[in-house]
Structure 1
Amino acid sequence: MKHPVTKNALLLALVAIVCVSILTLLQQLTAPRIAEQLLANRLALLHDVLPAAAEQQLLDDCIRVTAPEWLGRNSPQSVFRWREQGEVSAFVVETTAPDGYSGNIDLLVAITPDGTVLAARTLAHQETPGLGDKIELRKSDWMHSFANQAVHEATIRSWAVRKDGGDFDQFTGATITPRAVVNAVKRAALFVQQHPELAEQPANCEAF
């Protein structure tokens, strides 16, 4: 006769195997739907920052780069390229502000090769509701402040919040969040300017 402890252990192991099997099956069934939703979200954001571009072309002409000093992460991030008559007319860069009030702020920024920011949008953040979350378009139009703003020697000092002597508004009661975003967008524009080789590297993003 089996010891009760052994019997219970076998029963628990059987339950665990069944649960794992069910979770694996559910993951397999939902994975395609999740992938489709992620793709739809990415296409919508790409269209938002660069309306004139064909979203699928951006997805196809994409490179992965690791540049933590410029883009804020130690892991690879995507740089999408929009070409007109064979020449890159804009980059759409995934970048991160690592110094947000509550952690990383992930951004998507459209930038011309000469460093002019066409648009910037927030991908993800954990900033304080009612204060730092004004970086979301549904809460505020503050992110529109970056449209058509150039980053070059003559304008570099203006790329700061007003409290630091720059041209960008801070939020009432929350300066850290906008300061982090302004600096991240500025670094992304400088990254594009100072790395012309981005235009020629072969596409290497995984299929979307």
Structure 2
Amino acid sequence: MNRTSSVIILLLLAVIGVGATYFVDYSSAPHIAAEQRLIDSRNLLDLLPRDSYDNDPLQQPLQLDNSALTHSTLLAGYLATKGGQPSAVLLQSETIGYAGAIVLMIAVDTHGKLLAVKTLSQSETQGLGAGIADWPNAWLQGFAGKSRNEPPDNAWALKRDQGQFDQIAGATITSRAVINAVHDALRYFDAHAQTLTRIRPNE
């Protein structure tokens, strides 16, 4: 076998190898993308009890009106349903903490009771406010069961501000920001509950 033949064979093998790699990547891409969507969905929705919905809430986005609230901004909303009936509303909220934006996912049941709060992103100080990102989070669990009027408006504050809530140790500004954002979300739900929980024909 001369040198030219050897080079041609090596080139053919390289082309075949590249083609096979491309085919494997191309054929597996949809599966990988689907798995990634599932992981992302679980990360966003694990604040809801799994048996509380049977749809994919992230595929049922809500139209939000007047999303710039008193202390926060609503970035998105989603509807969870079970058996064709609304079971919860998810409100994605952004507020400003000590070091920057804090993005929360806030789950509210159809009666306006807060189910859970989860931090999706934050840039707070490590060892202090950054603890808001822990999941599960004992401090955030303290909001479960609260609603628009339970406690009353003047109690939605830190105890040091004559309110009802403890703060995260060493993170007063972070704590205030989250309390205010959660209260904003509950007030928004109360004002728009009928629209937020309405089942649309194509759902």
Give the Cα separation in 2 of the matches to 1:104 and 1:194: 25
Cα gap change, 1:48 to 1:38, in 2 (>3 Å): same
Farther off after superposition, 130-139 or 186-195: 130-139
Query: Structure 1: which 4+ aligned runs deviate by more than 4 Å?
Result: 31-36, 201-204
The answer for the alignment partner of 2:89 in structure 1 is 91
Tell whether 2:102 aligns with 1:105: yes
Give the Cα separation in 2 of the matches to 1:57 and 1:164: 40
Farther off after superposition, 78-87 or 31-40: 31-40
Structure 2 counterpart of 1:183, from 180, 184, 187: 180
The answer for the alignment partner of 2:68 in structure 1 is 68
- Deviation digits for residues 90-125 of structure 1, max 9, x if unmatched? 21111111x210111000011123321110000000
Amino acid at match of 1:189: L
Farther off after superposition, 101-110 or 143-152: 143-152
Contact 2:159 2:166 in 1 (8 A): yes
Cα gap change, 1:72 to 1:111, in 2 (>3 Å): same
Where does the alignment leave 5 or more consecutive residues of structure 2 unmatched?
1-24
Where does the alignment leave 5 or more consecutive residues of structure 1 unmatched?
1-27
Give the Cα separation in 2 of the matches to 1:119 and 1:101: 22
The answer for the alignment partner of 1:136 in structure 2 is 133
Q: Return the offset for 1:71.
A: 8.0
Cα gap change, 1:203 to 1:45, in 2 (>3 Å): farther
Tell whether 2:203 aligns with 1:198: no
Cα gap change, 1:79 to 1:168, in 2 (>3 Å): same
Structure 1 or 2, whichever has the larger Rg, is 2
Q: Return the offset for 1:136.
A: 2.1
Which SS does the other structure have where 1:130 is aligned? coil
Q: Return the offset for 1:169.
A: 1.1
Contact 1:62 1:78 in 2 (8 A): yes
Give the Cα separation in 2 of the matches to 1:84 and 1:56: 7
The answer for the alignment partner of 1:121 in structure 2 is 118
Scaled by the length of structure 2, the TM-score of the pair is 0.71
Give the Cα separation in 1 of the matches to 2:104 and 2:131: 14
Give the Cα separation in 1 of the matches to 2:136 and 2:84: 38
How much is the aligned-residue C-alpha RMSD, in angstroms?
3.2
Tell whether 2:50 aligns with 1:51: yes
Amino acid at match of 2:72: G
Which SS does the other structure have where 2:77 is aligned? strand
